[in-house]
């Protein structure tokens, strides 16, 4: 017998059946989908729920990427994504989603259950470069990404230095150095 997806939506079963299964204690609501109660919500579930709702050409980045990777209890609002500037892709506006055009190499992305996402290293660097405030929560997030991706300050500096014309390059290095010294 074929097994259903670990994240269901009305394309899998009618909405009425999904809601009845919640009332029966067989499913729980998760973002825009439903999961069986014996599923432990994780990276795969987070990726699947976003992959079903986001435009196919976007790459999930920054805080949203960190959430997909298991850091944080809830995704940011709005969700954060980017597109490769070289792809010259136009994304129709989607409520609850911000999209930036960026220069990104294929090795700075990974795919989880159909969702393209920035790597932990790229995500950490982007957070250090783009966050307005960079307090304890942001440092903790970048530290978690470093543990997940098994990289350190030197790896971040090398990746930053490999880029020409990277905005907020020096700010990112200062912020990452502060995290390195705190450890």
Residue 174 has pLDDT above 90, yes or no: yes
- Give the residue among 120, 113, 115, 89 at the shortest CA–CA distance from 102: 89
Q: What is the dihedral of CA 48, 54, 57, 63, to 10 degrees?
A: -80
Q: What is the pLDDT of residue 52?
A: 83
Q: Is the same domain home to 48 and 11?
A: no
**pTM as predicted:** 0.85
Q: Is the same domain home to 130 and 95?
A: no
State which residues form the domain around 171. Answer: 120-183
Q: Is the same domain home to 114 and 124?
A: no
In whole angstroms, give the CA distance from residue 130 to residue 167: 9
Q: Is the same domain home to 156 and 88?
A: no
Q: Is the same domain home to 112 and 82?
A: yes
Final residue of a structural domain among 118, 143, 170: 118
Q: Is the same domain home to 50 and 114?
A: yes
Q: Is the same domain home to 49 and 34?
A: no
- Give the residue among 112, 117, 140, 143 at the shortest CA–CA distance from 42: 112
Percent of the chain residues topping a pLDDT of 90:
54
Inter-CA distances, 167 with 64, 77, 103, 134, Å? 20, 24, 11, 16
Task: Give start and end residues of each alpha helix (H) in 69-152.
Answer: 120-130, 136-149
- pLDDT band (50, 70, 90) for residue 151: very high
Residue 109 has pLDDT above 80, yes or no: yes
Q: Is the same domain home to 110 and 64?
A: yes
Q: Is the same domain home to 72 and 24?
A: no
Total count of domains within the chain: 3
Mean pLDDT of all residues in 94-105: 89
Q: Is the same domain home to 139 and 171?
A: yes
Q: Is the same domain home to 26 and 73?
A: no
pLDDT (tens digit, 9 = 90+) per residue, 17-58?
888 988 888 888 777 778 788 777 789 889 988 988 888 889
- pLDDT band (50, 70, 90) for residue 1: low
Q: Is the same domain home to 65 and 87?
A: yes
């Amino acid at each position: 017998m074929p097994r259903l997806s670990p994240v269901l939506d009305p394309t899998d079963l009618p909405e009425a059946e999904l809601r009845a299964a919640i009332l029966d204690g067989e499913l729980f609501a998760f973002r825009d989908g439903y999961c069986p109660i014996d599923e432990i919500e994780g990276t795969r579930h987070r990726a699947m729920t976003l992959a079903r709702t986001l435009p196919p050409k976007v790459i999930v980045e920054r805080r949203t990427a960190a959430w997909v990777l298991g850091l944080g209890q809830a995704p940011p609002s709005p969700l954060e994504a980017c597109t490769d500037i070289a792809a010259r892709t136009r994304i129709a506006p989607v409520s609850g989603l911000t999209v930036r055009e960026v220069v990104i190499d294929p090795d700075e992305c990974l795919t989880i259950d159909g969702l393209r996402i920035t790597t932990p290293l790229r995500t950490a660097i982007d957070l250090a470069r783009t966050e307005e405030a960079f307090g304890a929560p942001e440092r903790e997030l970048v530290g978690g990404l470093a543990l997940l991706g098994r990289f350190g300050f030197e790896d971040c500096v090398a990746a930053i230095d490999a880029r020409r014309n990277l905005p907020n390059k020096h700010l990112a290095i200062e912020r990452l150095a502060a995290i390195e010294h705190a450890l």
